[in-house]
Amino acid sequence: MRTQVAIVGAGPAGLLLSHLLHLRGIESVVLEARSREYVEHRVRAGVLEQGTVDTLVESGAGERLLREGLVHHGIELRFGGQRHRIAFEKLVPGRAITVYGQQEVVKDLIAARLAAGGQILFEVDDVVPEEIEGPRPQVSFTHRSQPLALQADFIAGCDGFHGVCRDAIPPGVLQFFDKEYPFGWLGALAAVAPSSDELIYASNDRGFALHSMRSPQLSRFYLQVAPDEDIEAWPDERIWAELAARLETVPGWNLATGPVVEKGITAMRSFVAEPMQFGRLFLAGDAAHIVPPTGAKGLNLAAFDVTVLTEAFAAWYSSGDAALLDGYSRACLRRVWRAQHFSWWMTTLLHSFDSYDAYDRRLQQSYRDYVCTSEAASTSLAENYVGLGRR
Ligand code: FAD
Ligand code: DHB
C-alpha cells in the first residue's frame, strides 16, 4: 500500500488532518486501532474554540455543528457562596465558544472522509512506524490478521497519549515535561435538561464540580475525585448527591437530576514532548501534549496542530519548500505552552488540594476574589478560554 501521508489514529487530530489534506489535494490513509462504533461513541471533550469551529466550518465539515452546536457567550464561576459570570461579549467582544461533543466532531469528520472516498482502516493492530529518518518511511500493521505495510512520504502520529508513534522516536531525541495532579475527574452524561444556560465551574470545600451540557436534553457533569477512585464506588445516587453538594451553593439554584447514561474517571496530567517532529514523523494532538481538562483545551490544541501541519505539507507538495515543515514544532509549541499554563492555572484556581496549608488556601481565595473583581483578571481568563488568535 502507498499513500502520501500515513496517519496513525482516527481521533479528532488524525481525522481532521486527513480531511484538510484532502482539500489540498494530498492523499492520506488513516489507521485506527479501535472500531468505528467505538470512536464515534467515545465521550470526551465538549468545548470548541471559535478557531476550531471556523476550521471545521470552512472545511465543509461544520454543517451539523452550526445547526446543533450551542454557542455560549459566557461561563459562570461559583465559589464562596457566590456566582460570577465571565462575560465574553463584554471582555472579548465578538468571540464565543461552541458546546458540541467531541464524538460528534469525530462522526462528522468520518462521514466527510468516507463521502470523499477517503480511506480509514479501523481495528488495525501491531502498528509500527518504520524508517522515519529516511525519505521512505512506512507503517507496518495487521488488518484482519493480515500483515501489511503502508508506504508514505510522511507519517503523522495522531494516536493520542497512549499511542505508539511518540515511542518510535529514538531515545534521547525528545525532551519530556510532565506534571501529575493529585486528583482525577469523574465524568457523567445524564439524560436531563441542563439546569443552567451556561457552563458552571464550581468549587467548595468538597472539591471541584463542572456543569456542562450537550443538548437541551442532555447534561454533562464532572467531579473532582481521588486519582485512583473506582467508578464502581460511584452509583448514580452518589454522583447526584455530590454534584448537588458542590453546585447548590447559591440561593435559589437547584440541580435537576435524571438517568446517568455514561460515566467514567480520567486521571489528570500535563505533558509535553519536544520537539513534535523527528525525521519524517510528525506528532500532533495528544500524542505530543496533554493538558488537564479544566481549561477545555485538549481538542482545540489538536485541531490547531493539524491546521499548521496541513499548511506545511501543502507548501512541501506544491513547491518542495520544507521551511514550514521544519518550523512545525516551533509554531505549535508556542500555543501548546500557553494552553499548558492556562490549564494548570484554571486547575489550580478551581480544585481542592489536600496538600494545601492555611496559607495556600488564603492565596487561592485571594486569587479567586481577584478574578471575580478585576476586569483585567477576568479578561485574561476570558481571552485564554475562548482561544487566542489562530496564529
Ligand atoms: P485521541 O482523541 O486520543 O485520538 C487518538 C486515536 O488514536 C484514538 O482513536 C486511538 O484509538 C488511536 N490509537 C491509539 N493508539 C493507536 C495505535 N497504536 N494504532 C492505531 N491507532 C491508535 N479534553 C477536554 O477539553 N475536555 C474533556 O472533558 C476531556 N475529557 C477527556 C477524557 C479522556 C478519557 C481523555 C483520554 C481525554 C479527554 N480530553 C478532554 C482531551 C481531549 O479529548 C483530547 O485532547 C483529544 O481527544 C485529542 O485528540 P487526538 O486526536 O490528539 O487524540
Ligand atoms: C467540558 C469539558 C471540559 O473539560 C470543560 O472544561 C468544559 C466542558 C465538556 O465536556 O462539556
Q: Which ligand is closest to the CA of 201, given by its number?
A: 2
Task: State how far the Cα of 245 lies from the Cα of 236, in Å rounded to an integer.
Answer: 14
> Which of left, alpha, beta for 383 (phi over 0: left; psi -120 to 50: alpha)?
alpha
Q: Where are the alpha helices (DSSP H) in 98-189?
A: 102-115
**Helix, strand, or coil (residue 217):** coil
What separation in Å is there between the alpha carbon of 11 and the centre of ligand 1?
Answer: 6
Rounded to an integer, the average pLDDT of 114-123 is 98
Rounded to an integer, the average pLDDT of 55-74 is 98
pLDDT band at residue 143, thresholds of 50, 70 and 90?
very high
Query: What pLDDT score does 388 carry?
Result: 85
Residue whose C-alpha cell is 505530543: 288
What separation in Å is there between the alpha carbon of 214 and the centre of ligand 2?
Answer: 10
Q: Which of 159, 156, 162 minimizes the C-alpha distance to 132?
A: 156
From 42, 43, 47, 221, give the residue whose CB has the most ligand 2 atoms within 8 Å, as the site to mutate.
47
Task: State how far the Cα of 352 lies from the Cα of 305, in Å rounded to an integer.
Answer: 32
The DSSP H or E segment spanning 331 is helix 328-350
Q: What would the pLDDT profile of 210-259 be if each residue is shown by its tens digit?
A: 999 999 999 999 999 999 999 999 999 999 999 999 999 999 999 999 99
pLDDT greater than 90 at residue 389? no
- The answer to whether 175 and 273 have CB atoms below 8 angstroms apart is yes
Rounded to an integer, the average pLDDT of 356-375 is 96
- What is the pLDDT of the chain when averaged over all its residues? 97
Q: Tell me how many degrees the CA angle 51-55-56 measures, rounded to the nearest 5.
A: 120
309 lines ligand 2 (CB under 6 A): no
295 lines ligand 1 (CB under 6 A): no
Can you tell me which atom of ligand 2 is nearest the CA of 102?
10
Q: Tell me how many degrees the CA angle 377-382-384 measures, rounded to the nearest 5.
A: 100
Q: Which of 337, 336, 341, 316 minimizes the C-alpha distance to 326?
A: 316
Which contacts qualify for 317-320: CB closer than 8 Å, 24 or more apart?
317/4, 317/24, 317/25, 317/26
Helices 328-350 and 298-319 cross at an angle (nearest 10°) of 180
Query: What pLDDT score does 296 carry?
Result: 96
pLDDT greater than 50 at residue 373? yes
Query: What pLDDT score does 391 carry?
Result: 44
306 lines ligand 1 (CB under 6 A): no
Q: What would the pLDDT profile of 68-101 be if each residue is shown by its tens digit?
A: 999 999 999 999 999 999 999 999 999 999 999 9
Catalytic, 341? Answer no
Rounded to an integer, the average pLDDT of 254-280 is 97
Q: Which of 339, 191, 328 minimizes the C-alpha distance to 257?
A: 191
- The answer to whether 279 and 153 have CB atoms below 8 angstroms apart is no
The neighbour count for residue 41, using CB atoms within 10 Å, is 12
Task: State how far the Cα of 150 lies from the Cα of 2, in Å rounded to an integer.
Answer: 5
pLDDT greater than 80 at residue 390? no
What separation in Å is there between the alpha carbon of 33 and the centre of ligand 2?
Answer: 25
From 102, 104, 219, 332, give the residue whose CB has the most ligand 1 atoms within 8 Å, as the site to mutate.
102
Query: What pLDDT score does 312 carry?
Result: 98
As given in the structure block, the three cell numbers for residue 333 are: 509549541
